[in-house]
Amino acid sequence: MDSISLSSFDRMQARDVNNFAETIACEVVNKFYIVNAPWAVTALHGLVKAFMPEKFTRKLSFASGDGLGDTELVKKAGGEEQLKSLYAVRAGLVSKQIHSVKVYTEMLDTFADKDEQEIVTMLRSRFKDEFAKRKAEGRDYEPFFGDRALLRVVRGNNGCLGSAVNWFKRFLKRVEEHKLDSLIEDLTRRLDESGGVFGATSMLPYYDEIQEHSRLIFTAPRLSPKGDLVSYLPLGDHNRAGIIANVPWEHWARHVLGNVVLRSIECDRLSRTQNRLVRFIQIADMDGSGMGVSGLPS
């Protein structure tokens, strides 16, 4: 459970530390320099600026490499000698531990260990009446109410039973609000009738109305080397104006809900055959989308 604790740390850090710093103490920051950042992080800088308040992003600056060649940074840091002395205190604590700590995201495809199974059992017991009713009515759909599904809930809530219980309460409410039972049964039938293993966009509700305005390769023919599903979303073929003008909103909403439901069914079936929790890899292609640092075009 050490790895779960790492995720819990991040969650509590955001709740108890970051939120305080951003809402109460933000004006004590003059400039926030980031040095030795990986290329992928610096490449996202423009996207970050599009979604973060300007009062924060104007203080954020990425220096090239260690920043010793950045005149402004060196000056504000108190000179080159001081900046070098700051770097000298690095002890490499993370790199020393990186091989001894199992990163939580790397174990997300394994079935439950003993501790997780106990949490799954406790989660199920909190809703025993709901589970019993669904079982009696034949509505205890495995991809949503089976142990594998509950394990995903537990892991998605960092192994915290209380958070998992609250999540599942909201889930049950959404199931009733959106009449998901009928959608689950319909998409299960369509996948069964297809005779295949993979779902397809054509199985989703109102596909005929939507296909001319939004395209999606729901599942590519080949799995990832590990066995996960691969999906492709060309944002240049996601015409929001066309959807608004030609598709009733309730049809679009049902179509998107169907995407989530069908994916859950598909992943659960493959999980049984692969003896691991199968997930999916989403590739979003921005070519032709018109998206820039200010977001999607209106």
pLDDT, tens digit, 9 for 90 and up, residues 20-71? 445 554 456 567 778 887 766 666 666 666 556 666 677 777 888 888 999 9
| pLDDT (0 to 100) of residue 62 | 80
Residues 298 and 207 in one domain: yes
CA 236 to chain centre: 22
Q: Do residues 159 and 203 share a domain? A: no
Query: Do both 145 and 183 map to the same domain?
Result: no
How many whole angstroms separate alpha carbon 140 and alpha carbon 181? 10
Question: Residues 127, 74: one domain?
Answer: no
**Is 116 a domain residue?**
yes
User: Closest Cα to residue 18, out of 44, 56, 50?
Assistant: 56
What residue numbers bound the domain in which 11 lies? 2-97
Asked if 268 and 197 touch (Cβ cutoff 8 Å), the reply is no
Do 259 and 285 reside in the same domain of the chain? yes
Q: Is residue 231 situated within a structural domain?
A: yes
3-state secondary structure 2-60: HHHHHHHHHHHHHHHHHHHHHHCCHHHCCCEEECCCCHHHHHCHHHHHHHCCHHHHCCE
Q: What is the arithmetic mean of pLDDT over 254-282?
A: 94
Which of 155, 177, 199 terminates a domain? The answer is 177
Residue 21 lies in a domain: yes
Q: What is the mean pLDDT of residues 240-266?
A: 93
264-267 contacts at long range (C-beta below 8 A, 24 or more positions apart): 264/143, 264/144, 264/149, 265/143, 265/184, 265/187, 265/188, 265/191, 265/199, 266/191, 266/197, 266/198, 266/199, 266/219, 266/229, 267/143, 267/229
Question: Angle, nearest 10°, between helix axes 161-177 and 180-194?
Answer: 90
Q: Among the three residues 177, 200, 220, which one is the final residue of a domain in this structure?
A: 177
The residue whose two tokens read 């023919």 is: 221
Asked whether residue 195 falls in the same domain as residue 284, the answer is: yes
Domain count, the chain: 3
Euclidean distance between CA atoms 37 and 17, whole angstroms: 22
Last residue of a domain, one of 162, 177, 192: 177
Residue 271 maps to a domain: yes
Q: Are residues 83 and 113 in the same domain?
A: no
> For residue 50, is it within any domain?
yes
Residues 185 and 113 in one domain: no
pTM above 0.85, yes or no: no
Altogether, the residues listed in the chain come to a count of 298
Judge if 244 and 162 occupy the same domain: no
Per-residue confidence (pLDDT) for residue 267, from 0 to 100 = 94
Q: Is residue 103 part of a domain?
A: no
For residues 267 and 280, give the distance between their C-alpha atoms in angstroms, rounded to a whole number: 8
- Tell me the HSE value of 244 on the side-chain side, using a 13 A CA sphere: 4
Average pLDDT over residues 11-20: 54
So what's the pLDDT on residue 8? 58
Whether the predicted pLDDT of 283 surpasses 50:
yes
* pLDDT tens digit sequence for 60-73: 778 888 889 999 88
Residue 295 is classified by DSSP as: B
Residue 94's pLDDT is: 56
Mean pLDDT (whole number) for 196-205: 95
How far apart (Å, rounded) are the C-alpha atoms in residues 73 and 29?
Answer: 15
